[in-house]
Structure 1
Amino acid sequence: MTHYSETSLVIAACLWEAVLALRARPITDPDAIGLALAIDKTFDALGSAALRLTVVGWTDIVEAAWRGGENDYPLCFDWDFVPAWIIDHIDWSDPFHPAVIQRGGG
């Protein structure tokens, strides 16, 4: 049986919550609406279960990014850092394969 740290589980939950929020609440910002539609297409293409596993796969990358800059980040991890990381680091253009875009600085 695989054991995960509490930190990893929390990060995975925060990632999933952020994806759901970005999909559901695009407000009126055209970029946010575009992102919400792209995430929605990915849900339709992969289904919730497969997408959830994909998102969980980003846990270690997000944790490393957070550890690299947490002392300089003025906002909170779950409601600010994680959604911003998704916006900046996930390419949703292929609904069957949302991909991490590696960028400098986390």
Structure 2
Amino acid sequence: MLNDLDNFYFNYEEPTRSCLLALREVILKHNAQIKAEWKYKLPFFYFNRKPLCYLWLHKTYKNPYIGFVDGNLINDADLLKEKRSRIKILLIDKNDDLPIEKINHILTQALYICTNKQ
């Protein structure tokens, strides 16, 4: 039987499922200290027990996104703020190749902020 975290991914049809699973893999491979947990009814990723980012589906665009907890401190033109004060999101096209370099670049910035935040 699958736990809630694993179940999250398998509740979606293709290509959304594969996209979310690939995003999870990219995030977890970025740094060995990033851990996935089931928090707030979604897959959340922590770095040294500090919240880093999460995966979710955009209600309007119906595409997956990575929500960066301290996204407001990351300066990247591809991050969307929308109506959030702290979190910015990186919208992912589920029908296209993942922008792995872009994701890794933003993750590197997010890890730096997470490490140096009080």
**Structures share fold, TM-score greater than 0.5:** no
Q: Whose helix proportion is higher, 1 or 2? A: 1
State the TM-score, normalizing by the size of structure 1.
Answer: 0.40
Report which structure shows greater RCO (CA 8 Å, sep ≥6): 1
State the TM-score, normalizing by the size of structure 2.
Answer: 0.37
